[in-house]
Structure 1
Amino acid sequence: MQPARQAFTRESADARRADLIEATAACLAEHGLAGTNVRAICRKAGVSPGLLRHYFGGIDDLVAATYQATSDRMDAIFAGAVEDADHDPRARLTAYLTASFRPPVTDPDLLGAWTAFWALARSDARMADIHAESYAGYRARLTELLTACDAREPERLAIMLTAMVDGLWLELSLDAASFGAEAAVAMVERAVGALLP
């Protein structure tokens, strides 16, 4: 009986942490940094402020955990896009790059949370570390995909393509009608075609 109770307690604790992380991302998306506070997060998660402090120690820890969870979620989406692609190296590269122009990455709420994380990364060392690790991981995987396509200077191309994808994603997230997801995909495919042998 005791092991089952411990498993249930552990699952409950994980579920509560996940609920708090989800509520924090939602508050950041809806209210920005200025409107994201302990009271708003706890109201959205349906828990008491004491529970937030129990699991995270405070709002700074919770926001950092939310950034890490969001980064991990994006990594899984991009990895899944590559796994679902044809085994052709160029198809895998395109799938990785263009996953940014499809749901759930194009969810407008994600933009709100992401811009809050970027703002905090400029002034908070822990957030800056999460940002640096996330982008380094994205570029490293992109470099591997480019290398598989026999690209010259794959590290430099990874930086350039990451910037292009980020810029297109940002514009698409701000105004989906400006050029559309399929146009973004076409632009990236054209750039890849021009840059690779």
Structure 2
Amino acid sequence: MEPARQAFTRESADARRAALIDATAACLAEHGLAGTNVRAICAKAGVSPGLLRHYFGGIDDLIVATYEATSDRMDAIFAAAVEGAAPDPRARLSAYLTASFRPPVTDPELLGAWTAFWALAPSDARMATIHATSYAGYRARLCELLLACGAADAEKLAIMLTAMVDGLWLELSLDAESFGAEAAVQMVGRAVSALV
């Protein structure tokens, strides 16, 4: 008796696009911007270079899509942190701010991808737009949480706290032993207590 043949299944266009985006993020994390190329991405995704060009105009378009997808993923993580917090406005604010010091945001691979995105933003208008939109959204949600806590001048506080969180996240990503995630959470908590 012949062994049963496996049915051929073709991945959906969305699944292939997502695989290419995931492979791009992984390549950026592993090799940096200079080492991320069509060959490396396609090898990581297990597809041919022709498939990349079928779904994206080229590597630049794929990196833009990867930044959008990564930003959307971060937005969802921060929203889930707030939803999972106690209903108290302070708890929701704390959850939003400190999600940056918890997995999956602390995944070391994220640093490589994120720094590549930041490096491209000043010279690529599409990357700059994604950056501006993403950060404006983060600050707007932070501002709402600050207002719910009764903060005065919430817009300026949102800018300051965003910079603080980004700086602590970056330092932790570069050197996890420098002060630790829990220390970062405590620093942000002290800042919020002093300012709000």
Q: TM-score range by the shorter chain?
A: over 0.9
Q: Which residue of 2 aligns with 1:3?
A: none
One-letter code aligned to 1:94: S
One-letter code aligned to 1:42: C
**TM-score with structure 2 length normalisation?**
0.94
Q: Which residue of 2 aligns with 1:157?
A: 157
Tell me the CA shift for residue 43 of structure 1. 0.5
Q: Which residue of 2 aligns with 1:123?
A: 123
Describe the superposition over 1:63-115 as per-residue Cα deviations: whole angstroms up to 9, x where unpaired: 00000000000000000000000000000000000000011101111000000
One-letter code aligned to 1:191: A
What is the DSSP-based 3-state SS (H/G/I as helix, E as strand, rest coil) of the residue aligned with 1:104? coil
The separation in 1 between residues aligned to 2:37 and 2:122, in whole angstroms, is: 19
Structure 1, unmatched stretches of 5+, are 1-7
One-letter code aligned to 1:150: G
Tell me the CA shift for residue 140 of structure 1. 0.3
Report sequence identity in percent. 85
**TM-score with structure 1 length normalisation?**
0.94
Tell me the CA shift for residue 151 of structure 1. 0.2
One-letter code aligned to 2:23: A
The separation in 2 between residues aligned to 1:137 and 1:83, in whole angstroms, is: 17
Q: Which residue of 2 aligns with 1:49?
A: 49
Describe the superposition over 1:133-179 as per-residue Cα deviations: whole angstroms up to 9, x where unpaired: 00000000000000000100000000000000000000011111100
Number of residues of Structure 1 aligned to a counterpart in Structure 2: 188
What is the DSSP-based 3-state SS (H/G/I as helix, E as strand, rest coil) of the residue aligned with 2:12? helix
- Please give the residue correspondences for 1:29-178 in structure 2 after superposition, counting only pairs within 5 Å: 29-178=29-178
The separation in 2 between residues aligned to 1:185 and 1:33, in whole angstroms, is: 30
One-letter code aligned to 2:56: F
Q: Which residue of 2 aligns with 1:4?
A: none
The separation in 2 between residues aligned to 1:118 and 1:189, in whole angstroms, is: 27
What is the DSSP-based 3-state SS (H/G/I as helix, E as strand, rest coil) of the residue aligned with 1:152? coil
TM superposition outliers: structure 1 runs of 4+ over 2 Å = none
One-letter code aligned to 1:189: G
Tell me the CA shift for residue 46 of structure 1. 0.5
Structure 2, unmatched stretches of 5+, are 1-8
The separation in 2 between residues aligned to 1:24 and 1:58, in whole angstroms, is: 12
Q: What is the aligned-residue RMSD (CA, Å)?
A: 1.0
